[in-house]
Structure 1
Protein backbone atom coordinates (compact mmCIF):
# COMPACT_ATOMS: atom_id res chain seq x y z
CA UNK A 1 0.00 0.00 0.00
CA UNK A 2 1.14 3.50 -0.78
CA UNK A 3 1.25 6.33 1.74
CA UNK A 4 -2.16 7.64 2.74
CA UNK A 5 -3.33 10.69 0.84
CA UNK A 6 -4.05 13.74 3.00
CA UNK A 7 -6.09 16.73 1.89
CA UNK A 8 -6.74 19.93 3.83
CA UNK A 9 -10.33 21.14 3.91
CA UNK A 10 -12.35 23.84 5.62
CA UNK A 11 -16.04 23.84 6.52
CA UNK A 12 -18.07 26.20 4.33
CA UNK A 13 -21.29 27.91 5.32
CA UNK A 14 -21.86 29.86 2.11
CA UNK A 15 -23.97 27.35 0.17
CA UNK A 16 -25.83 27.26 -3.15
CA UNK A 17 -24.91 27.32 -6.82
CA UNK A 18 -23.71 30.91 -6.70
CA UNK A 19 -21.40 30.18 -3.80
CA UNK A 20 -20.00 27.08 -5.53
CA UNK A 21 -19.40 29.12 -8.68
CA UNK A 22 -17.47 31.74 -6.71
CA UNK A 23 -15.36 29.03 -5.10
CA UNK A 24 -14.43 27.54 -8.46
CA UNK A 25 -13.46 30.97 -9.77
CA UNK A 26 -11.18 31.28 -6.72
CA UNK A 27 -9.52 27.94 -7.62
CA UNK A 28 -11.33 26.07 -4.85
CA UNK A 29 -13.34 22.84 -5.00
CA UNK A 30 -16.71 22.57 -3.24
CA UNK A 31 -17.28 19.20 -1.60
CA UNK A 32 -19.67 17.34 0.68
CA UNK A 33 -18.82 14.87 3.43
CA UNK A 34 -21.55 12.49 4.59
CA UNK A 35 -22.10 9.08 6.19
CA UNK A 36 -21.40 7.39 9.54
CA UNK A 37 -24.83 8.51 10.76
CA UNK A 38 -23.66 12.13 10.97
CA UNK A 39 -25.03 15.26 9.38
CA UNK A 40 -23.53 16.11 5.96
CA UNK A 41 -20.77 18.71 6.09
CA UNK A 42 -20.07 21.15 3.26
CA UNK A 43 -16.36 21.58 2.59
CA UNK A 44 -13.92 23.60 0.52
CA UNK A 45 -10.60 22.23 -0.79
CA UNK A 46 -7.72 23.71 -2.76
CA UNK A 47 -8.16 22.78 -6.42
CA UNK A 48 -4.44 22.44 -7.13
CA UNK A 49 -4.06 19.92 -4.27
CA UNK A 50 -7.09 17.92 -5.40
CA UNK A 51 -5.92 17.90 -9.02
CA UNK A 52 -2.52 16.55 -7.99
CA UNK A 53 -3.96 13.96 -5.58
CA UNK A 54 -6.43 12.55 -8.11
CA UNK A 55 -3.61 11.68 -10.49
CA UNK A 56 -2.90 8.65 -8.26
CA UNK A 57 -5.09 5.61 -8.88
CA UNK A 58 -5.27 5.09 -5.12
CA UNK A 59 -7.20 8.38 -4.79
CA UNK A 60 -10.34 6.56 -5.92
CA UNK A 61 -9.89 3.31 -4.00
CA UNK A 62 -8.25 4.03 -0.66
CA UNK A 63 -9.05 5.75 2.61
CA UNK A 64 -8.15 9.44 2.45
CA UNK A 65 -7.27 11.55 5.45
CA UNK A 66 -9.24 14.79 5.42
CA UNK A 67 -7.77 17.46 7.65
CA UNK A 68 -10.89 19.54 8.33
CA UNK A 69 -10.03 22.71 10.23
CA UNK A 70 -7.39 20.73 12.12
CA UNK A 71 -9.54 17.63 12.77
CA UNK A 72 -8.61 14.39 11.00
CA UNK A 73 -11.48 12.52 9.34
CA UNK A 74 -11.15 9.26 7.41
CA UNK A 75 -13.14 9.12 4.17
CA UNK A 76 -13.31 7.64 0.69
CA UNK A 77 -14.21 9.36 -2.57
CA UNK A 78 -17.73 8.35 -3.67
CA UNK A 79 -18.14 10.71 -6.58
CA UNK A 80 -16.11 13.31 -8.45
CA UNK A 81 -17.46 15.74 -11.03
CA UNK A 82 -15.23 17.25 -13.68
CA UNK A 83 -15.51 20.14 -16.11
CA UNK A 84 -16.63 18.79 -19.52
CA UNK A 85 -13.44 19.89 -21.30
CA UNK A 86 -11.16 21.78 -18.91
CA UNK A 87 -8.77 19.94 -16.55
CA UNK A 88 -10.83 20.99 -13.54
CA UNK A 89 -12.53 19.11 -10.71
CA UNK A 90 -15.85 20.82 -10.01
CA UNK A 91 -17.21 18.86 -7.03
CA UNK A 92 -16.34 15.98 -4.69
CA UNK A 93 -18.46 13.66 -2.59
CA UNK A 94 -16.70 12.06 0.39
CA UNK A 95 -18.08 9.23 2.52
CA UNK A 96 -16.96 9.04 6.16
CA UNK A 97 -15.57 5.66 7.16
CA UNK A 98 -15.66 4.03 10.57
CA UNK A 99 -12.82 1.66 11.42
CA UNK A 100 -15.31 -0.74 13.06
CA UNK A 101 -17.84 -0.84 10.21
CA UNK A 102 -17.47 -2.45 6.78
CA UNK A 103 -17.60 -0.14 3.79
CA UNK A 104 -18.79 -0.91 0.29
CA UNK A 105 -16.86 0.53 -2.64
CA UNK A 106 -15.29 -0.40 -5.97
CA UNK A 107 -11.61 -1.01 -6.63
CA UNK A 108 -9.79 -1.32 -9.96
CA UNK A 109 -8.63 -4.62 -11.43
CA UNK A 110 -4.98 -5.03 -12.43
CA UNK A 111 -4.40 -7.74 -15.05
CA UNK A 112 -1.00 -9.40 -14.63
CA UNK A 113 1.06 -11.10 -17.39
CA UNK A 114 -1.35 -9.84 -20.02
CA UNK A 115 1.30 -9.55 -22.72
CA UNK A 116 3.40 -12.56 -21.74
CA UNK A 117 0.64 -15.15 -21.24
CA UNK A 118 1.10 -18.23 -23.44
CA UNK A 119 -2.45 -17.90 -24.77
CA UNK A 120 -1.74 -14.34 -25.91
CA UNK A 121 1.54 -15.34 -27.55
CA UNK A 122 -0.41 -18.01 -29.44
CA UNK A 123 -2.74 -15.40 -30.90
CA UNK A 124 -5.34 -15.09 -28.16
CA UNK A 125 -7.04 -11.76 -27.51
CA UNK A 126 -7.66 -10.53 -23.95
CA UNK A 127 -11.16 -9.18 -23.30
CA UNK A 128 -11.58 -7.03 -20.18
CA UNK A 129 -15.17 -7.66 -19.13
CA UNK A 130 -14.84 -5.71 -15.86
CA UNK A 131 -12.27 -3.08 -14.95
CA UNK A 132 -13.38 -2.72 -11.34
CA UNK A 133 -14.93 -4.92 -8.66
CA UNK A 134 -17.44 -3.98 -5.95
CA UNK A 135 -16.16 -5.12 -2.56
CA UNK A 136 -17.06 -4.97 1.11
CA UNK A 137 -14.44 -4.81 3.89
CA UNK A 138 -13.29 -2.93 6.94
CA UNK A 139 -11.37 0.27 6.11
CA UNK A 140 -8.11 -1.27 7.34
CA UNK A 141 -8.44 -4.10 4.79
CA UNK A 142 -9.31 -1.91 1.81
CA UNK A 143 -7.04 -2.86 -1.14
CA UNK A 144 -6.02 -0.26 -3.70
CA UNK A 145 -6.63 -2.82 -6.46
CA UNK A 146 -7.37 -6.49 -7.14
CA UNK A 147 -4.88 -8.56 -9.15
CA UNK A 148 -5.92 -11.12 -11.76
CA UNK A 149 -3.08 -13.24 -13.18
CA UNK A 150 -3.54 -14.23 -16.83
CA UNK A 151 -0.37 -16.35 -17.07
CA UNK A 152 -2.20 -19.69 -17.10
CA UNK A 153 -5.48 -18.64 -18.70
CA UNK A 154 -6.14 -20.56 -21.92
CA UNK A 155 -7.72 -19.50 -25.18
CA UNK A 156 -11.48 -19.80 -24.81
CA UNK A 157 -11.34 -19.52 -21.01
CA UNK A 158 -13.29 -16.94 -18.97
CA UNK A 159 -12.37 -15.94 -15.41
CA UNK A 160 -15.31 -15.20 -13.11
CA UNK A 161 -15.47 -13.43 -9.75
CA UNK A 162 -15.54 -16.74 -7.87
CA UNK A 163 -12.15 -17.67 -9.37
CA UNK A 164 -10.40 -14.52 -8.15
CA UNK A 165 -8.54 -14.71 -4.85
CA UNK A 166 -9.46 -11.63 -2.86
CA UNK A 167 -7.26 -10.31 -0.03
CA UNK A 168 -8.03 -11.47 3.50
CA UNK A 169 -11.04 -9.71 4.97
CA UNK A 170 -12.37 -8.62 1.56
CA UNK A 171 -15.64 -9.94 0.10
CA UNK A 172 -17.25 -9.56 -3.32
CA UNK A 173 -20.51 -7.62 -3.16
CA UNK A 174 -21.88 -9.44 -6.21
CA UNK A 175 -21.03 -12.96 -5.01
CA UNK A 176 -22.79 -12.23 -1.72
CA UNK A 177 -26.02 -11.98 -3.75
CA UNK A 178 -25.73 -15.59 -4.96
CA UNK A 179 -24.22 -17.77 -7.70
CA UNK A 180 -26.23 -16.03 -10.42
CA UNK A 181 -24.12 -12.91 -9.76
CA UNK A 182 -20.81 -14.64 -10.49
CA UNK A 183 -19.85 -12.07 -13.11
CA UNK A 184 -17.27 -12.63 -15.83
CA UNK A 185 -14.17 -10.46 -15.33
CA UNK A 186 -11.80 -11.35 -18.17
CA UNK A 187 -11.51 -13.85 -21.02
CA UNK A 188 -9.04 -14.80 -23.72
CA UNK A 189 -10.62 -15.53 -27.05
CA UNK A 190 -9.21 -16.83 -30.33
CA UNK A 191 -8.40 -14.16 -32.87
CA UNK A 192 -10.96 -14.08 -35.67
CA UNK A 193 -9.36 -14.50 -39.07
CA UNK A 194 -6.01 -15.17 -37.42
CA UNK A 195 -3.23 -17.52 -38.35
CA UNK A 196 -4.95 -20.49 -36.70
CA UNK A 197 -8.10 -20.09 -38.81
CA UNK A 198 -6.08 -19.58 -41.96
CA UNK A 199 -4.18 -22.79 -41.23
CA UNK A 200 -7.45 -24.65 -40.69
CA UNK A 201 -8.81 -23.27 -43.96
CA UNK A 202 -5.74 -24.37 -45.90
CA UNK A 203 -5.97 -27.85 -44.36
CA UNK A 204 -9.60 -28.13 -45.38
CA UNK A 205 -8.81 -27.10 -48.94
CA UNK A 206 -6.01 -29.71 -49.04
CA UNK A 207 -8.43 -32.43 -47.93
CA UNK A 208 -10.91 -31.39 -50.63
CA UNK A 209 -8.27 -31.81 -53.29
Structure 2
Protein backbone atom coordinates (compact mmCIF):
# COMPACT_ATOMS: atom_id res chain seq x y z
CA UNK A 1 0.00 0.00 0.00
CA UNK A 2 1.28 3.47 -0.88
CA UNK A 3 2.17 5.76 2.03
CA UNK A 4 -0.58 8.17 3.06
CA UNK A 5 -0.12 11.94 3.13
CA UNK A 6 -1.86 15.08 4.38
CA UNK A 7 -2.90 18.29 2.61
CA UNK A 8 -4.25 21.55 4.01
CA UNK A 9 -7.27 23.01 2.20
CA UNK A 10 -9.59 25.98 2.48
CA UNK A 11 -13.33 26.00 1.87
CA UNK A 12 -14.40 27.62 -1.41
CA UNK A 13 -17.08 30.23 -0.82
CA UNK A 14 -17.77 30.53 -4.56
CA UNK A 15 -18.13 27.89 -7.26
CA UNK A 16 -18.38 28.05 -11.03
CA UNK A 17 -15.96 28.57 -13.91
CA UNK A 18 -15.12 32.16 -13.06
CA UNK A 19 -14.32 31.34 -9.44
CA UNK A 20 -12.25 28.32 -10.52
CA UNK A 21 -10.18 30.44 -12.91
CA UNK A 22 -9.57 32.98 -10.15
CA UNK A 23 -8.33 30.20 -7.86
CA UNK A 24 -5.92 28.88 -10.48
CA UNK A 25 -4.45 32.37 -10.90
CA UNK A 26 -3.67 32.17 -7.17
CA UNK A 27 -1.85 28.85 -7.74
CA UNK A 28 -4.67 26.86 -6.14
CA UNK A 29 -6.66 23.90 -7.45
CA UNK A 30 -10.45 23.70 -7.02
CA UNK A 31 -11.62 20.35 -5.67
CA UNK A 32 -14.66 18.74 -4.08
CA UNK A 33 -15.07 16.16 -1.32
CA UNK A 34 -18.19 14.00 -1.60
CA UNK A 35 -19.65 10.74 -0.30
CA UNK A 36 -20.53 9.14 3.05
CA UNK A 37 -24.05 10.59 2.78
CA UNK A 38 -22.81 14.14 3.42
CA UNK A 39 -23.17 17.33 1.41
CA UNK A 40 -20.41 17.85 -1.14
CA UNK A 41 -17.70 20.16 0.21
CA UNK A 42 -15.98 22.50 -2.32
CA UNK A 43 -12.36 23.17 -1.34
CA UNK A 44 -9.17 24.73 -2.69
CA UNK A 45 -5.75 23.08 -2.48
CA UNK A 46 -2.21 24.38 -3.08
CA UNK A 47 -1.33 23.59 -6.68
CA UNK A 48 2.36 22.82 -6.13
CA UNK A 49 1.85 20.32 -3.32
CA UNK A 50 -0.93 18.43 -5.08
CA UNK A 51 0.94 18.36 -8.39
CA UNK A 52 3.94 16.80 -6.66
CA UNK A 53 1.70 14.08 -5.19
CA UNK A 54 0.27 13.36 -8.63
CA UNK A 55 3.72 13.12 -10.23
CA UNK A 56 4.94 10.79 -7.46
CA UNK A 57 2.60 8.06 -8.73
CA UNK A 58 -0.18 6.06 -7.11
CA UNK A 59 -2.35 9.15 -6.76
CA UNK A 60 -5.67 7.37 -7.33
CA UNK A 61 -4.81 4.44 -5.05
CA UNK A 62 -3.51 6.35 -2.01
CA UNK A 63 -5.75 7.42 0.87
CA UNK A 64 -4.99 10.96 2.03
CA UNK A 65 -6.05 13.24 4.87
CA UNK A 66 -7.29 16.73 4.03
CA UNK A 67 -7.25 19.29 6.82
CA UNK A 68 -10.13 21.71 6.25
CA UNK A 69 -10.05 24.34 9.00
CA UNK A 70 -8.92 21.77 11.56
CA UNK A 71 -11.42 19.13 10.43
CA UNK A 72 -9.33 16.23 9.16
CA UNK A 73 -11.14 14.26 6.45
CA UNK A 74 -9.83 10.96 5.10
CA UNK A 75 -10.31 10.76 1.34
CA UNK A 76 -9.36 8.86 -1.78
CA UNK A 77 -8.85 10.77 -5.05
CA UNK A 78 -11.39 9.40 -7.54
CA UNK A 79 -10.82 11.60 -10.57
CA UNK A 80 -8.85 14.59 -11.72
CA UNK A 81 -8.77 16.87 -14.74
CA UNK A 82 -5.70 18.24 -16.50
CA UNK A 83 -5.55 21.24 -18.83
CA UNK A 84 -4.74 19.69 -22.25
CA UNK A 85 -2.67 22.71 -23.30
CA UNK A 86 -0.77 23.61 -20.14
CA UNK A 87 -0.72 20.05 -18.76
CA UNK A 88 -1.66 21.34 -15.31
CA UNK A 89 -4.16 20.04 -12.77
CA UNK A 90 -7.42 21.99 -12.91
CA UNK A 91 -9.82 19.98 -10.71
CA UNK A 92 -9.91 16.96 -8.36
CA UNK A 93 -12.77 14.84 -6.98
CA UNK A 94 -12.22 13.21 -3.58
CA UNK A 95 -14.34 10.49 -1.96
CA UNK A 96 -14.76 10.45 1.82
CA UNK A 97 -13.38 7.27 3.40
CA UNK A 98 -14.48 5.82 6.74
CA UNK A 99 -13.21 2.84 8.73
CA UNK A 100 -14.31 -0.49 7.28
CA UNK A 101 -15.10 0.86 3.81
CA UNK A 102 -14.38 -1.25 0.74
CA UNK A 103 -13.95 0.39 -2.61
CA UNK A 104 -13.42 -0.51 -6.27
CA UNK A 105 -10.08 0.82 -7.51
CA UNK A 106 -8.16 0.52 -10.77
CA UNK A 107 -4.74 -0.88 -9.72
CA UNK A 108 -1.79 -0.86 -12.15
CA UNK A 109 -0.15 -4.12 -13.23
CA UNK A 110 3.63 -4.54 -13.03
CA UNK A 111 5.33 -7.29 -15.04
CA UNK A 112 8.39 -9.02 -13.52
CA UNK A 113 11.19 -11.29 -14.78
CA UNK A 114 10.92 -10.66 -18.52
CA UNK A 115 14.44 -12.09 -18.90
CA UNK A 116 13.20 -15.40 -17.47
CA UNK A 117 10.52 -15.84 -20.13
CA UNK A 118 11.63 -18.28 -22.89
CA UNK A 119 9.05 -16.79 -25.23
CA UNK A 120 10.36 -13.25 -24.83
CA UNK A 121 13.94 -14.51 -25.19
CA UNK A 122 13.01 -15.99 -28.56
CA UNK A 123 11.68 -12.66 -29.74
CA UNK A 124 8.10 -13.01 -28.57
CA UNK A 125 6.10 -9.92 -27.72
CA UNK A 126 4.44 -9.18 -24.40
CA UNK A 127 0.86 -8.33 -25.37
CA UNK A 128 -0.65 -6.51 -22.39
CA UNK A 129 -4.42 -6.92 -22.37
CA UNK A 130 -4.93 -5.03 -19.11
CA UNK A 131 -2.52 -2.36 -17.87
CA UNK A 132 -4.80 -1.95 -14.84
CA UNK A 133 -7.17 -4.31 -13.04
CA UNK A 134 -10.21 -3.15 -11.11
CA UNK A 135 -10.13 -4.61 -7.61
CA UNK A 136 -12.46 -4.51 -4.62
CA UNK A 137 -10.20 -3.47 -1.73
CA UNK A 138 -10.41 -2.40 1.90
CA UNK A 139 -10.01 1.38 1.81
CA UNK A 140 -7.08 1.17 4.21
CA UNK A 141 -5.29 -1.59 2.28
CA UNK A 142 -5.31 -0.62 -1.38
CA UNK A 143 -2.31 -2.24 -3.13
CA UNK A 144 -0.05 0.19 -5.00
CA UNK A 145 0.13 -2.37 -7.82
CA UNK A 146 -0.24 -6.07 -8.58
CA UNK A 147 2.64 -8.15 -9.91
CA UNK A 148 2.67 -10.63 -12.78
CA UNK A 149 5.62 -13.04 -12.92
CA UNK A 150 6.63 -13.88 -16.51
CA UNK A 151 9.08 -16.63 -15.49
CA UNK A 152 8.77 -19.70 -17.74
CA UNK A 153 6.18 -18.26 -20.10
CA UNK A 154 6.59 -19.22 -23.76
CA UNK A 155 5.07 -17.99 -27.00
CA UNK A 156 1.35 -18.68 -26.95
CA UNK A 157 1.09 -18.66 -23.15
CA UNK A 158 -1.37 -16.40 -21.33
CA UNK A 159 -1.55 -14.95 -17.82
CA UNK A 160 -4.99 -14.97 -16.21
CA UNK A 161 -6.12 -13.23 -13.04
CA UNK A 162 -6.19 -16.60 -11.22
CA UNK A 163 -2.39 -16.76 -11.55
CA UNK A 164 -1.92 -13.47 -9.69
CA UNK A 165 -1.47 -13.51 -5.93
CA UNK A 166 -3.68 -10.78 -4.49
CA UNK A 167 -3.39 -9.36 -0.96
CA UNK A 168 -5.76 -10.63 1.69
CA UNK A 169 -9.22 -9.12 1.38
CA UNK A 170 -8.65 -7.98 -2.20
CA UNK A 171 -10.73 -9.49 -5.01
CA UNK A 172 -11.30 -8.68 -8.70
CA UNK A 173 -14.55 -6.87 -9.42
CA UNK A 174 -14.97 -9.22 -12.41
CA UNK A 175 -15.82 -12.50 -10.70
CA UNK A 176 -17.65 -14.48 -13.38
CA UNK A 177 -14.62 -15.39 -15.50
CA UNK A 178 -10.86 -15.93 -15.32
CA UNK A 179 -9.95 -12.97 -17.49
CA UNK A 180 -6.66 -12.53 -19.34
CA UNK A 181 -4.12 -9.94 -18.26
CA UNK A 182 -1.39 -10.59 -20.84
CA UNK A 183 -0.17 -13.03 -23.49
CA UNK A 184 3.17 -13.86 -25.07
CA UNK A 185 2.59 -13.39 -28.79
CA UNK A 186 4.74 -14.58 -31.69
CA UNK A 187 6.93 -11.84 -33.20
CA UNK A 188 5.64 -10.27 -36.42
CA UNK A 189 8.68 -11.54 -38.36
CA UNK A 190 8.05 -15.13 -37.27
CA UNK A 191 4.38 -14.83 -38.15
CA UNK A 192 5.26 -13.55 -41.63
CA UNK A 193 7.75 -16.38 -42.17
CA UNK A 194 5.17 -18.97 -41.10
CA UNK A 195 2.64 -17.47 -43.51
CA UNK A 196 5.16 -17.63 -46.32
CA UNK A 197 5.95 -21.26 -45.51
CA UNK A 198 2.25 -22.13 -45.46
CA UNK A 199 1.76 -20.46 -48.83
CA UNK A 200 4.73 -22.28 -50.32
CA UNK A 201 3.52 -25.67 -49.09
CA UNK A 202 -0.09 -25.17 -50.21
CA UNK A 203 -1.12 -27.33 -53.19
CA UNK A 204 -1.41 -25.47 -56.50
CA UNK A 205 -4.55 -25.63 -58.56
- Please say whether Structure 1 and Structure 2 have the same fold, judged by a TM-score greater than 0.5: yes
Equivalent position of 2:74 in the other structure: 74
1:3 CA displacement? 2.7
Equivalent position of 1:183 in the other structure: 179
Equivalent position of 1:50 in the other structure: 50
String of CA shifts for 1:147-201, please: whole Å, max 9, x gaps. Answer: 11111222101212232221111010012xx12xx33211101112239947x94
Note if contact 1:99-1:138 (Cα within 8 Å) is conserved in structure 2: no
Note if contact 1:61-1:108 (Cα within 8 Å) is conserved in structure 2: no
Aligned equivalents of 1:194, 1:6: Cα separation in 2: 52
Note if contact 2:109-2:146 (Cα within 8 Å) is conserved in structure 1: yes
Aligned equivalents of 1:183, 1:32: Cα separation in 2: 35
Note if contact 2:29-2:91 (Cα within 8 Å) is conserved in structure 1: yes
Aligned equivalents of 2:45, 2:56: Cα separation in 1: 17
Number of residue-to-residue matches in the alignment: 199
SS at match of 1:54: helix
Note if contact 1:5-1:59 (Cα within 8 Å) is conserved in structure 2: no
Aligned equivalents of 1:165, 1:3: Cα separation in 2: 21
Note if contact 2:2-2:62 (Cα within 8 Å) is conserved in structure 1: no
Normalised by the length of structure 1, the TM-score is: 0.87
Greater mean alpha carbon deviation, residues 162-171 or residues 28-37: 162-171
The two structures, once aligned, show a CA RMSD in angstroms of 2.2
Aligned equivalents of 1:75, 1:83: Cα separation in 2: 23
Normalised by the length of structure 2, the TM-score is: 0.88
Unmatched 5+ residue regions in structure 1? none
Note if contact 1:141-1:168 (Cα within 8 Å) is conserved in structure 2: no
1:75 CA displacement? 1.1
